[in-house]
Each structure stands twice: as structure tokens, then as C-alpha cells.
Amino acid sequence: MKFEKLIFRYNLFHFIMEFAKNIMTEKVEKLNFKAAMLGIFAIVGAYYFTGQILPGIF
């Protein structure tokens, strides 16, 4: 029983990794980088203008 669960988990992990390899192309990686940079600039800008790490919370 435990062996069957282990095989199922391995197959599921393998399926997810193959799916991720097909989805995460170079174009998607560049888009992810741009979104992350936009978020960092937004955080820095909010801190610069308000002096708070998370405006309205801290």
C-alpha cells in the first residue's frame, strides 16, 4: 500500500515537472522578471513617498 502511494506521488511529481517545463518558456520567464521588477519599484516608491514599509499597515 505504501509503495503504491509512493509510485503515485512520483508520477504526479513527474507530470507536474514536465508540465512546468513546457509552460515556463523564455518568453514567460522574461514576463515574470518584468512583473517582479515592477513590484519592487512599487514597493520602493511607496516607501519613498510614505515612509512606511506597507502603507496603511506598518
C-beta separation of 53 from 47 below 8 A: yes
Amino acid identity at 2: K
- Per-residue pLDDT reduced to its tens digit, 1-57: 565 666 667 677 778 888 877 877 888 889 999 999 999 999 999 889 988 877 777
**What is the residue extent of each domain of the chain?**
24-58
Distance CA(58)–CA(54), nearest Å, equals: 5
d(CA 45, CA 33): 18
- pLDDT for the residue 41: 94
